Every structure is written in structure tokens, then in C-alpha cells.
Amino acid sequence: MSDRRAKFKARAPGLRLRDSFNNIETDAQHHLAGPFRPQTPLNAQYDSPVNSPASPAGRLDPWSTKSAGFVADLCSSRWVVVPWSSFKLLLIVVVLYCNWEVVTPYVAPGTPNPFAPLLFISHYIPTSSPDDPRYAKGYLDLVFIAYYIVFWSWVRQVVTLHVCGPIARWFGIKRHAKLARFGEQGYAMLYFIVMGAWGIRIMSQLPTWWYRTEYFWIDYPHWDMKPELKCYYLMQAAYWCQQLVVLLLNLEKPRKDYAELVAHHFVTLWLVGWSYLVNLTLIGNAVYLSMDVPDAFLAFSKLLNYIQWERAKTISFVIFMFIWSYFRHWMNLVMLYSVWTEFDLMPEISKRWSPKDGVWMVWWMKYQIFAPILLLQFLNLFWYALIWRIALRAIFDAQPNITDERSDDEGEDEPDDDDKED
């Protein structure tokens, strides 16, 4: 066994830059920070998306992703982490929708399809121009979110298990924990690339392009939404709801920072829901964009770290730091300045609390908007300091006369029992 372990260690890259990053990776004090540790809640449950080693005889692995049967998965809520069961739920709705569209014209012409709100956004404004359709907000938005919680559950597990898993194994990753983390970062990169690009496209269609912050307030309330903006907002809400469901139902192996993750998800959903309700979706789009774009680069850097492409991961990390600095700090400060100095650009008639008219901007709302963005900036600064510390350690640890030997890292490259059998 010692020969096999020595052989395994001999295959692992030995650069000190890698050792520096791994030291931070395994340091419990940095579980929420560091360029190669999760910065966003979706990266959090890193022991779960892969099938864990066989449980002792007679015991069922509580975090297995294998189906116990469609009905059993529904009753136990395991459909959230079993991709085949979540796919069946999605398919049932599609079949019912199509069946209604085919049969109803012959039975009850003109009857609206009750399954349409699950698949498509609702509350179209009939008085809006066909060339520029607009949508209002309403209770059917909750139905749309519910369906796409199932959608994100399916996408997440398909990507982590069936796309990123084989890719990770092809690169020689065998440990279950690293397979899980690789899968989550692959899903993170895919999600944030799509949502970041979508957010840029949406902003390009709005007067707020590129962070023209005065239009956050001019002509408020922005209660009628472009269809893409509404769909984008609701898809974001569905994504974060899906993440929270996994945590609250304990469907995946929990982390030590479980309480912090639950709190983070609740705060995120509160910000999503509140900005949507009070018609602040234009500034909401800008905040989303400033978060999603750097997270995509973060996930990509982590993937390169796991496969040990030394030069590529270093270049990617440098680019990530520039992107992070621009979006998470400069643009966040720009938005804070706008809230503080441009809030009064909104029409005087909108500076009142009248939900039936879609206006909520009484004087104290200025501080209610400013405070969470300021707290976000403080959190970003905390992460920023840790990112720079990691970067500096990587630079200095790359020097030949610098060593950092810690017993906690020695087992990181050792294979699991399953690996030793290969």
C-alpha cells in the first residue's frame, strides 16, 4: 500500500504555487473566502453531488442520488437531488400542457391553458404594444418559480453528476470530495456564464446601459417589465429557492457553515423578492450583473485549480482579480453613490407609499435600499482582503526558499479506498 501511495503522490504536481492554494483550500478558517473556495452558496454543499461510497451493510446512504422510485422520491423530497425524478416532474407538466393545447380546441374552445403559467411568464399587459410587450407582477409568478425550482434541480444534478463527473475523472480526479467540488464548480461556471451574459443582454435593452445609474430612478415606478427582464428575475428567484430547499430539507451532506449558508440564502431571497415587489428591477439587474460575472470567473479558476493546469490557473486567477475588483467594488460603489445622491431624481408623485399604484418610495426607503448594498460592499471587502492574502502567499510561496509543510495537507493528495483498489 505504501508503494501505491508513493506512486500516487509522485503523479501529483509539486509546484509550491499549487501547495499555497491547497493550504487555503483546506484551511477551515477560510471556508467562505479565498479564490478557490466557495464564494457563493451554490458552491457550498461540496460532498453531495456524487454518489458516496457504499454504506455499511443494511444502512441506506441518506445523501445518495440514486432513485428509490418516483413516488418514493416525491414523498421524501429526494426528487430535488435525483435527476431522473425531477425530469419526470418537468415532463409531466409539459405533457399536460401539450395535451390541453391539442384537445381543448375541440372540447372547450377559448379555455385558457391552466398549465401555461408553469412554463411561461404571466400577467401580460393587454394595452402594451405588440412590438414592445410588457408584463405586470402577480401571484402566478409564484407558480412559475415553483416549476423552475424543479428545473434547476434537474439541471444542477445532470451537470454535476453526468457532465462534470466524467470530465473530472478524465483529468485523473478520483477522490469523492474533489469530484463533488469539481462538479459544483462546473455547474457554477455554467450558471453564472449564462445568467451573466443574459443580464448583460437585458441591460443593453434598458436605459441603464452601462450602469447609467440616473435611470434607476427617472420615471419610477418601473412596474411594467420587458418579458426578458421578468423571466430573468424569476429564474434567479427559482435558482436561489432551489438552493435553499436543498439545505432546509437536509437532502445533501451538510457543511460546518450550514447556518451561515441558510442565512445567506434567506437574505438573498429577501433582496430578490423585495426589489421585485417594489419595482426596483432596474437596479436589481445591475446588482445581479455585478455579482454573476465575477462568480463565473471564480468558478473557472477553481476548475483549473482542480485539474492542475498551473500556468492557465495563474492567468485565470489574475484576470479574476481584475474582474472582481471592477464589478464587486467599483460598480458596487457606483450604485451606492447613485442611491445616496440620485434617489430624488424620481418623480415627486412616486415619493409615497401606495402599493395599489406601484409606488413605495417614501423618504426612508432611500436608507432601506442603501443599507443592504453597503453591507454587501463590506462583505466584498472582507473577501477581497482574503483574496489578496492568498495571491501574496502564492507569490511568496513560489520562491524556492519558502516552504509551508503542514500535516493537514499531507492527506489531501492521498487516494480514497476506492482509488487504492484501482
Q: What is the pLDDT along the chain (422 residues), one digit of tens a residue?
A: 445 444 444 444 444 444 444 444 444 444 333 333 333 333 333 343 334 444 444 455 556 788 888 898 888 888 888 999 999 999 999 999 999 999 998 888 889 999 999 999 999 999 999 899 999 999 999 999 999 999 999 999 999 999 999 999 999 888 887 888 899 889 989 999 999 999 999 999 999 999 999 999 999 999 999 999 999 999 999 998 998 887 887 766 666 656 666 776 777 787 788 889 999 999 999 998 998 999 999 899 989 988 888 888 889 989 999 999 999 999 999 999 999 999 999 999 999 999 888 899 999 999 988 988 888 888 788 878 888 888 888 777 654 333 333 233 333 444 443 433 33
- Count CA atoms closer than 13 A to 204's CA, side-chain side: 6
* Selection from 212, 163, 182, 210 nearest residue 306 by Cα: 182
Q: What is the C-alpha to C-alpha distance for residues 277 and 134, in angstroms, rounded to an integer?
A: 16
Q: What is the C-alpha to C-alpha distance for residues 311 and 397, in angstroms, rounded to an integer?
A: 15
Tally the residues of the chain: 422
Helices of type H across 78-175: 83-107, 116-119, 140-157, 164-170
Q: What is the C-alpha to C-alpha distance for residues 52 and 63, in angstroms, rounded to an integer?
A: 8
373 within a domain of the structure (yes/no): yes
* Selection from 342, 362, 366, 340 nearest residue 351 by Cα: 362
7 within a domain of the structure (yes/no): no
Q: What is the C-alpha to C-alpha distance for residues 238 and 281, in angstroms, rounded to an integer?
A: 16
What would the grid cell of residue 312 be? 492557465
Residue partners of 250: CB distance under 8 A and separation at least 6: none
251 within a domain of the structure (yes/no): yes
Contact of 213 with 121, CB cutoff 8 Å: no
149 within a domain of the structure (yes/no): yes
What would the grid cell of residue 224 be? 411594467
pLDDT of residue 251: 66
Q: What is the C-alpha to C-alpha distance for residues 64 and 81, in angstroms, rounded to an integer?
A: 8
pLDDT of residue 252: 64
60 within a domain of the structure (yes/no): no
The pTM of this model reads: 0.77
Give the angle 22-26-28 at the CA atoms, nearest 5°. Answer: 145
Report the b/e string of 263-294 with b at 16+ CB within 10 A: ebbeebbebbeebbebbbbbbbbbbbbbbbbb
Instruction: Using the structure block, give the residue that is written with the C-alpha cell 462538479.
Output: 183
Q: How many CB atoms lie within 10 A of CB 175?
A: 18
Q: What is the C-alpha to C-alpha distance for residues 147 and 71, in angstroms, rounded to an integer?
A: 18
Helix axes 258-277, 227-248, angle to 10 degrees: 150
420 within a domain of the structure (yes/no): no
Residue partners of 81: CB distance under 8 A and separation at least 6: 48, 49, 63, 65, 153, 157, 246, 251, 252
First CA to last CA distance, the chain: 12
pLDDT of residue 377: 86
Q: What is the CA radius of gyration of the chain?
A: 24
pLDDT of residue 137: 94
pLDDT of residue 63: 61
Helices of type H across 249-277: 258-277
3-state secondary structure (DSSP) of residue 124: strand
What would the grid cell of residue 107 be? 372540447
pLDDT of residue 214: 96
> How many domains does the chain contain in total?
1
Find the domain containing 377 and state its range: 22-48+70-413
268 within a domain of the structure (yes/no): yes
Instruction: Using the structure block, give the residue that is written with the C-alpha cell 457532465.
Output: 163
What would the grid cell of residue 385 be? 482582503
3-state secondary structure (DSSP) of residue 83: helix
3-state secondary structure (DSSP) of residue 359: strand
12 within a domain of the structure (yes/no): no
pLDDT of residue 422: 37
pLDDT of residue 258: 67
Contact of 46 with 331, CB cutoff 8 Å: no
Q: What is the C-alpha to C-alpha distance for residues 112 and 74, in angstroms, rounded to an integer?
A: 28
Q: Which amino acid type is present at position 50? A: V
